[in-house]
């Protein structure tokens, strides 16, 4: 990963109608032509909605018992390739996915629904979408931009929030992302829509629901074990899940496993920002039945 040490913060670009950085568009042809298999499972999220958490839960459900050495030696981002990623000097997400020895293959994406490689839909793959309330999602994304040299530099929180509201963040508007998958679910039954807030409130229940969607009959003791291993504190202390092995991230600025809470937005939004955000949110979300909780 030493090549990643020299990464310069990328510019925000416009691509296929959304804001992007080149790391996620440089391999576009291969991403779009990716050949999914019917048993592939796609984990889709807006950045910072709980991707790593969901990925690790799925990984343990499928491979927790069969490959113990994987758990201690292969970081989660290698086990669950980030399909559109293309960073210098390391294998692309597509290359990693094509080489995955596991069955099923677990694959991660942040692409909005309209840009997901077609073969996932054609093969009727299972899709697990995790959504997080806009306010906490924005706060988490802000700290992620600060610490991740693979992201454009955020000027300050106020500027970040304005750009988030304007949809000018990598992977486009949060609003369209969460609503896009929500709409898709109405016609595509193999999509399981989860909420970060529900996962925090009752992880065990969400693991159970996930199992029933996936058609797994994982026994309760096993599920409880997984719930424990994927607790925030345990994942934060686990080198294979806390991203401490990635040099583009500066944990001195902010750790990847930062707080893992619902409602941290309250320590960031001013009263004025909150009022403005709520007003704008109402407009943006007026045509959807999708509802979020900003506190639990």
Active site residues: 110
Which residues contribute to the site for ligand A3P (CB under 6 A)? Answer: 45, 47-53, 136, 140, 143, 200, 230-232, 235, 257-260, 264
Q: Which is nearer to ligand A3P, 27 or 51 (CB)?
A: 51
CB of residue 283 to ligand A3P, shortest distance in Å: 25
Question: CB-based contacts of 132: which residues, under 8 Å, 6+ apart?
Answer: 45, 46, 48, 49, 50, 140, 195, 196, 197, 292
Nearest-approach distance from CB 70 to ligand A3P, in angstroms: 19
Query: Minimal distance in Å, beta carbon 82 to ligand A3P?
Result: 10
Question: Shortest Cβ distance from residue 235 to ligand A3P (Å)?
Answer: 4
Cα–Cα distances (Å) from 192 to 36, 156, 213, 238, in that order, read: 18, 35, 7, 27
Q: What is the spatial distance between Cα 247 and Cα 2, in angstroms, rounded to a whole number?
A: 7
CA distance 119 to 212: 24
Closest distance between ligand A3P and the C-beta of residue 200, in Å? Answer: 6
Shorter beta-carbon distance to ligand A3P: residue 121 or 232: 232
Task: Count Cβ atoms within 10 A of the Cβ of residue 294 and give its class: 0-12 exposed, 13-18 middle, 19 or more buried.
Answer: middle
For ligand A3P, the closer CB: 50 or 154: 50
| Nearest distance, CB of residue 83 and ligand A3P, angstroms | 15
- Of 229 and 273, CB closest to ligand A3P: 229
Residue nearest to ligand A3P (CB): 260
**Choice between 92 and 151, CB closer to ligand A3P:** 151
Residue closer to ligand A3P (CB basis): 39 or 224? 224
Q: What is the rounded CA–CA span in Å between residue 22 and residue 28?
A: 10
């Amino acid at each position: 990963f030493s090549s990643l040490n020299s990464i310069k913060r990328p510019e925000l670009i416009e691509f296929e109608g959304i804001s992007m950085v080149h790391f996620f568009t440089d391999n576009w042809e291969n991403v779009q032509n990716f050949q999914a298999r019917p048993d592939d499972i796609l984990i889709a999220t807006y950045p910072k909605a709980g991707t790593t958490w969901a990925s690790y839960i799925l990984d343990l459900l499928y491979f927790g018992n069969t490959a113990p050495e994987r758990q201690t030696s292969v970081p989660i981002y290698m086990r669950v390739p980030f399909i559109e990623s293309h960073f210098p000097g390391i294998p692309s997400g597509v290359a990693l996915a094509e080489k995955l020895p596991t069955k099923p293959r677990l694959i991660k994406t942040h692409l909005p629904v309209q840009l997901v490689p077609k073969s996932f839909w054609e093969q009727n793959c299972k899709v697990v979408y995790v959504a997080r309330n806009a306010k906490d999602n924005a706060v988490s994304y802000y700290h992620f931009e600060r610490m991740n040299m693979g992201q454009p530099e955020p000027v300050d929180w106020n500027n970040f929030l304005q750009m988030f509201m304007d949809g000018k963040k990598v992977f486009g508007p949060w609003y369209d992302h969460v609503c896009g998958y929500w709409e898709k679910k109405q016609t595509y039954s193999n999509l399981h829509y989860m909420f970060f807030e529900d996962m925090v409130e009752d992880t065990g229940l969400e693991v159970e629901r996930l199992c029933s969607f996936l058609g797994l009959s994982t026994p309760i003791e096993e599920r409880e074990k997984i719930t424990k291993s994927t607790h925030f504190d345990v994942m934060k202390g686990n080198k294979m899940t806390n991203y401490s092995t990635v040099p583009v991230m500066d944990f001195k600025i902010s750790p990847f496993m930062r707080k893992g809470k619902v409602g941290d937005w309250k320590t960031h939004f001013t009263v004025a920002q909150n009022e403005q955000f709520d007003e704008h949110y109402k407009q943006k979300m007026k045509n959807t039945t999708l509802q979020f909780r900003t506190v639990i």
